[in-house]
């Protein structure tokens, strides 16, 4: 039962992550709203608490936009969930389409 709850929670994080990428990409006025800040903090806290990334990861991306940072987190999510074989072996490290 705990594994099912954990899996559902991981799926929820991914849905919020994708939603934030979409909202930021399609609505310039969305950035900095209370909902955006709350969702991004929730996402960042989850990735940090699960030790998917660390503070150095964020420090290395200080000059990134929110969208760039969230897209990088999407890659980290897939590596965390499924292993690095889910990323193509090209320089861009884009996510494979299945």
User: What span, in angstroms and rounded, lies between the C-alpha atoms of 16 and 39?
Assistant: 7
pLDDT of residue 98: 41
pLDDT of residue 1: 44
List the one residue out of 38, 34, 43 whose CA is nearest residue 16.
43
Q: Are 46 and 15 in contact (CB under 8 A)?
A: no
CA 10 to each of CA 25, 30, 61, 71: distance values in angstroms, whole numbers, following the listed order = 23, 24, 23, 16
- Tell me which residues of the chain have a pLDDT lower than 70: 1-5, 86-98
pLDDT of residue 65: 95
């Amino acid at each position: 039962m705990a594994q099912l709850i954990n899996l559902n929670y991981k799926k929820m994080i991914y849905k919020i992550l994708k939603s934030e990428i979409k909202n930021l990409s399609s609505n310039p006025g969305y950035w900095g709203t209370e909902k955006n800040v709350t969702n991004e903090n929730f996402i960042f806290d989850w990735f940090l608490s699960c030790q998917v990334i660390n503070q150095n990861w964020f420090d290395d991306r200080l000059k990134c936009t929110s969208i760039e940072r969230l897209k990088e987190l999407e890659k980290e999510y897939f590596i965390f969930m499924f292993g690095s074989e889910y990323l193509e072996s090209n320089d861009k490290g884009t996510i494979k389409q299945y």
